[in-house]
């Protein structure tokens, strides 16, 4: 196991020497430890962090779970990267175009007692698709993190969501800035703004993200007292991103991390429900097109677990690669039959309606109400695979435990125009399974139409009527015995954590089927 404290001591000596030679204007890049302001005061109804746990759509009392929540502002100097000319299809080499200052915000949730800390730090890129910060992995996996004593850190990942934060609370978030390091950029010099989210302007630069992410990891690994985790024994740091944030991670992993020498800055990555593409490295240059080999994840010295929902797998297959156990290329790829890109669980931990509206947005629940009359947002437990993914990632990184393999979702056609093979109950065949699919009482769809982007990504649940249930299960005991048996099988295969297995059975008992 890498002695991170020893590594950090060596990095500190090297950084001091480099600063003396190069002068203060030269950015240290990924290994730079940003300065910290905070905790930012205020946790009242009138002044609190956006996405605060007490002001979620479904509030969480962190204190009752032995946790505390603090918001900090971090400031540093970030590089903007550009892909080099491609001479080899697998070439992901980059150069630095320019550097500039930034101030970002991070939201830190940690055990109040450092002795309860598991040693794991999960750094989540807050999703920016709706133009406000969405803590997607926290929504799915907070019970997993809280029960184990993990630290979760959410980081703002786009200038457009900084604009939302300033709309929400102009005074609190006034210091935040991702100003474009090229103040002379105009429509003439940069006629097309390449971005995977709306709202890009010449005044800001999405491409600052990559060093912002690296420097956040450097901060939580640092020994200084400004580290929010000072006094906590950090053992491993993971980066996690879902949907758009997963797309951001692809370019970061493939193009930026190879430039970071010595020990990996992140020990592992959970890349959730991306689409087999990556974001532009800077807003004046396009990203590699779908199907470009540079979009295929290459882990090098960190471990990667990549997961896809049933909505997303067809696009992700354009960047499919086989699993690997090589020491310098630890990689697992899982497709889950059943969950859509957006299910009910994902809506629980976004900011409540009042805060979302104050940031200029609409909630996921409000968005879904516009999709299809009478449709009910999918209740499929998307946390199953994501909880298991975190458990497998930790086991691989900290204990060398090799994760299981899984079959792909069965489909016909060619990516991305694949058609999912459905069983007699209308549910997906193959992939990572769940007892809710193998012993079903409902059909779970991949999408709810094309009325909007959120509708196309949101599945619906269509429950079986009593007659259908009775045709499948003669009595309650038959249903429960089959459900429990399948739950045990899925857990033994490594795709249900013990806590999720217990919860799955408890919910089955409550259903009173048939």
pLDDT digits (tens, 9 = 90+) for 491-504: 999 999 999 999 99
499 belongs to a structural domain? yes
Taking the C-alpha atoms of residue 233 and residue 322, their distance in angstroms, rounded to an integer, is: 35
Q: Is residue 309 part of a domain?
A: yes
Residue range 224-243: average pLDDT? 98
The pair phi, psi for residue 195, each rounded to 5°, is: -160, 155
Residue range(s) defining the domain that contains residue 253:
44-62+109-155+218-511
Contact (CB, 8 A) for 483 and 505: yes
Q: What is the mean pLDDT of residues 78-86?
A: 92
In a domain, 24, yes or no: no
> What is residue 502's three-state secondary structure?
helix
Per-residue pLDDT, averaged over 15-22, amounts to: 32
**Average pLDDT along the chain:** 93
Whether residue 486 lies inside any domain: the answer is: yes
What is the average per-residue pLDDT within 131-157?
Answer: 98
Would you state the pLDDT for residue 28?
Answer: 59
Half-sphere exposure of 270 (CA within 13 A, CB side): 26
Model confidence over 446-467: pLDDT tens digits?
999 999 999 999 999 999 999 9
Residue 322, pLDDT score: 97
Please give the pLDDT value at position 264.
87
Residue 296 has pLDDT above 90, yes or no: yes
At a CB cut-off of 8 Å and minimum separation 6, what does 145 contact? 109, 122, 138, 152
Residue 123 has pLDDT above 90, yes or no: yes
Instruction: Give dist(CA 231, CA 455) in Å, integer.
Output: 45
- Is residue 445 situated within a structural domain? yes
C-alpha to C-alpha distances, 507 to 143, 381, 503, nearest whole angstrom? 16, 11, 6
Within a domain: 1 = no
* Backbone torsions φ then ψ of 357, nearest 5 degrees: -65, -40
Q: What is the DSSP letter of 317?
A: G
Evaluate whether residue 127 is within a structural domain.
Answer: yes
Look up the pTM and report it: 0.93
Does the pLDDT at position 10 exceed 70? no
What's the domain count of the chain?
A: 1
What pLDDT is stored for residue 88 in this prediction?
74
| In a domain? residue 297 | yes
């Amino acid at each position: 196991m890498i002695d991170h404290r020893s590594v950090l001591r060596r990095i500190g000596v090297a950084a001091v020497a480099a600063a003396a030679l190069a002068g203060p204007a030269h950015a240290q890049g990924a290994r730079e430890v940003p300065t910290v302001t905070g905790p930012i005061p205020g946790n009242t109804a009138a002044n609190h962090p956006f996405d605060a746990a007490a002001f979620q759509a479904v509030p969480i009392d962190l204190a009752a779970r032995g946790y505390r929540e603090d918001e900090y502002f971090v400031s540093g100097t970030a590089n903007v990267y550009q892909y080099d000319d491609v001479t080899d299809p697998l070439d992901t080499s980059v150069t630095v175009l320019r550097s500039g200052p930034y101030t970002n915000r991070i939201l830190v949730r940690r055990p109040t007692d450092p002795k309860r800390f598991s040693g794991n730090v999960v750094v989540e890129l807050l999703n920016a698709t709706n133009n406000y910060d969405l803590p997607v992995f926290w929504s799915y996996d907070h019970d997993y993190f809280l029960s184990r004593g993990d630290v979760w850190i959410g980081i703002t990942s786009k200038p457009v969501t900084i604009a939302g934060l300033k709309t929400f609370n102009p005074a609190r978030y006034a210091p935040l800035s991702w100003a474009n390091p090229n103040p002379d950029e105009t429509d003439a010099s940069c006629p097309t703004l390449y971005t995977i989210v709306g709202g890009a302007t010449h005044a800001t630069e999405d491409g600052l993200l990559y060093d912002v992410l690296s420097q956040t990891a450097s901060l939580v690994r640092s020994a200084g007292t400004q580290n929010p985790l000072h006094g906590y024994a950090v053992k491993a740091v993971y980066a996690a991103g879902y949907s758009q944030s997963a797309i951001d991670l692809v370019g970061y992993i493939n193009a930026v991390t190879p430039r970071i020498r010595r020990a990996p800055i992140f020990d592992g990555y959970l890349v959730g429900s991306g689409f087999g593409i990556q974001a532009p490295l800077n807003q004046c240059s396009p990203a590699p097109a779908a199907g470009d080999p540079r979009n295929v994840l290459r882990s090098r010295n960190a471990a990667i677990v990549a997961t896809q929902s049933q909505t997303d797998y067809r696009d992700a297959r354009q960047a499919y690669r086989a699993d690997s156990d090589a020491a310098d290329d630890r990689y697992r790829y899982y497709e889950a039959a059943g969950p859509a890109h957006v299910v009910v669980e994902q809506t629980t931990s976004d900011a409540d309606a009042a805060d979302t509206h104050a940031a200029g947005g609409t909630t996921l629940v409000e968005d879904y109400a516009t999709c299809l009359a009478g449709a009910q947002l999918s209740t499929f437990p998307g946390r199953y695979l994501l909880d298991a993914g975190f458990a497998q990632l930790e086991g691989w990184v900290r204990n060398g435990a090799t994760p299981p393999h899984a079959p792909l979702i069965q489909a016909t056609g060619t990516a991305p125009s694949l058609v999912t093979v459905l069983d007699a109950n209308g549910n997906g065949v193959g992939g990572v399974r769940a007892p809710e699919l193998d012993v079903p009482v409902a059909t779970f769809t991949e999408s709810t139409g094309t009325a909007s982007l959120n509708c196309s990504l949101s599945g619906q649940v269509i429950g079986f009527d009593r007659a259908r249930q009775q045709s499948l299960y003669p009595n309650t005991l038959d249903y429960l015995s089959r459900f429990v048996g399948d739950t045990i099988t899925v857990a033994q295969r490594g795709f249900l954590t013990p806590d999720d297995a217990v919860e799955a059975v408890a919910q089955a008992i409550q259903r009173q089927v048939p």
